[in-house]
Chain A
Amino acid sequence: MAVLRRGAYERVGLFRGWDRFDYLMVAAALALVVLGLLLIHSGSRNDYDGPALSFANPVVKQLVFAIVGLAVMAGMSRIDYHRLTHYWWALYGASIVALVAVLIFGDAQFGSTRWFDFGVVQVQPSEFAKVAVIVTLARFFAEYGGDAREFRALLVSLAIVVPVIFLVFIEPDLGTSAVFAAIWLGVVVIAGVNRAHLAMLAALCFALAPFVWTFAVADYQVERISILVDPYRDQGGLGAGYNVIQAETAIGSGGLFGKGLGNGAQTQLDFLKVPTKDFIFSVLGEELGFVGGLALFLLFIVLLFRGVRAAQIAGDVEGQLIAVGIVVLILMQTFVNVAVNLGMFPVTGIPLPFVSQGGSSLVSMFAALGILQSIIIRHRAYRQE
Chain B
Amino acid sequence: MTVNERRPPPPRAPTRTRPHSNLAVLRAAILVLFALLTLRLGYLQIVRGEEYAERAESNHLRALQLLPSRGLIYDRDGVPLVQNVGSYAAGIIPELLPADREARYLTYLQLEAITGVPALEIQTAVDEAEAAGRGGERLIIAKYLTHEQAIALDQAASTLDGVELVVEPSRTYPYGPVLSHVLGYIGPQFADERKRYEELGYPPNQPVGKAGLEAAYETYLAGTPGWQIAEQDAHGNILRVLETRPPEPGANLKLSIDLDLQQYVYDLLVSSLGDATQAAAVVMNPKTGDIYALVSVPSYDNNIFAAIERHDAEYEALLEDPRKPLLNHALMPAAPGSTFKLVTAAAALQEGTITPTTGRNVDSAVLEIRGEDGVIYPLRDWRVHGYLDLRGAIAWSSNIYFYMASCGIPQEGIRGLGKDILESATILGYYARAFGFGRPTGIDLGGEATGVVPSPEWKRRSRSGPQFNPEDREWYYADTCFMGIGQGDVTATPLQVARMTAAVANGGKLVRPHLVDEILDAEGRAIERIEPEWEEVPVDPAHLQVIREGMLLSVREGAGALAAVPGVAVAGKTGTAEFRTPTGELKEHAWFTGFAPFDDPEVVVTVYFDLGFGGAKAAPVAGRIIQYFLQHQGGAR
Contact = CB atoms under 8 A, between A and B. Distances in A.
A224 B21 CA distance: 40
Interface in A42-87: 46
Interface in A296-318: 297, 300-301, 304-305, 308, 311-312, 314-318
A40 interface: no
B34 A384 contact: no
B15 interface: yes
Interface residues of A, number: 74
B44 to A, nearest CB: 4
Nearest to A107: B101
B64 to A, nearest CB: 14
A327 B234 CA distance: 37
B158 interface: no
A273 interface: yes
Contact of A311 (B26, B33, B44, B46): B26
A318 B16 CA distance: 8
Q: For B18, B29, B57, which residue has the most chain A Cβ atoms within 10 angstroms?
A: B29
A111 interface: yes
Nearest to B38: A297
Contact of B45 (A145, A227, A234, A290): A290
A364 B492 CA distance: 86
Interface stretch (A12-20, A123-131, A203-211, A242-250): A242-250
A297 B34 CA distance: 7
A256 B45 contact: yes
Mostly, the B contact residues are helix
A190 B33 CA distance: 18
Contacts of A191: 20
A319 B19 contact: yes
A361 interface: no
Nearest to B161: A47
Contact of A289 (B22, B33, B45): B45
Interface string A222-250: 01100100000011001110100010111
Nearest to B45: A290
Contact of A290 (B22, B41, B131, B134): B41
B41 A253 contact: no
B52 A251 contact: yes
B49 A238 contact: no
Interface in A171-186: 186
B199 to A, nearest CB: 17
A351 to B, nearest CB: 15
B15 A270 contact: no
A248 B52 contact: yes
Given A249-B56, A250-B56, A256-B46, A239 B136 contact: yes
Interface in B17-44: 17-23, 25-27, 29-31, 33-34, 36-38, 40-42, 44
Contacts of B198: none
Q: For A149, A285, A312, which residue has the most chain B Cβ atoms within 10 angstroms?
A: A312
Contacts of A220: 131-133
Interface residues of B, number: 54
A251 B47 CA distance: 12
B13 interface: yes
Interface string B216-254: 000000000000000011110000000000000000000
Contacts of B57: 265
B44 A248 contact: yes
A147 B14 contact: yes
A328 B29 CA distance: 9
A98 B19 CA distance: 32
A227 B133 CA distance: 11
A192 B45 CA distance: 40
Nearest to B56: A253
Given A145-B13, A239-B137, A252 B48 contact: yes
Nearest to A255: B49
Contact of A327 (B26, B42, B130): B26
B53 interface: yes
A316 to B, nearest CB: 5
Contacts, number: 185
B133 A223 contact: yes
Interface in A93-113: 107, 109-111
B540 interface: no
B599 to A, nearest CB: 69
B130 A190 contact: no
A166 interface: no
Interface in A114-154: 142, 145-147, 149
A109 B234 CA distance: 22
Contacts of B33: 331, 335
A142 B16 contact: yes
A235 B137 CA distance: 9
B154 interface: no
Q: For B52, B56, B95, B134, which residue has the most chain A Cβ atoms within 10 angstroms?
A: B56
A235 B25 CA distance: 44
A308 B27 contact: yes
A308 B30 contact: yes
A300 B35 CA distance: 12
Nearest to A143: B16
Contacts of A319: 19
Contacts of B19: 146, 311, 314-317, 319-320, 380
A342 interface: yes
B162 to A, nearest CB: 12
Contact of B17 (A223, A272, A289, A316): A316
B26 A270 contact: no
Contacts of B586: none
B307 to A, nearest CB: 26
B60 interface: yes
Given A240-B134, A294-B38, A317-B14, A253 B53 contact: yes
B3 interface: yes
Contact of B40 (A269, A331, A344): A344
B147 interface: no
Given A253-B56, A256-B49, A342-B40, A192 B14 contact: yes
Nearest to A258: B45
A46 B234 CA distance: 11
Contacts of A327: 26, 30
Given A220-B133, A266-B59, A290-B41, A384 B49 contact: no
Given A235-B137, A238-B136, A252-B44, 19 more contacts: A145-B14, A146-B15, A146-B19, A239-B134, A252-B52, A265-B59, A270-B234, A270-B235, A290-B42, A301-B30, A308-B23, A311-B19, A311-B26, A312-B23, A316-B16, A327-B26, A328-B26, A342-B37, A384-B3
9 contacts: A142-B16, A146-B15, A186-B26, A190-B22, A240-B136, A251-B41, A293-B38, A308-B27, A320-B19
Closest 7 CB pairs of A and B: A252-B52, A240-B133, A270-B234, A253-B56, A320-B19, A269-B233, A271-B234
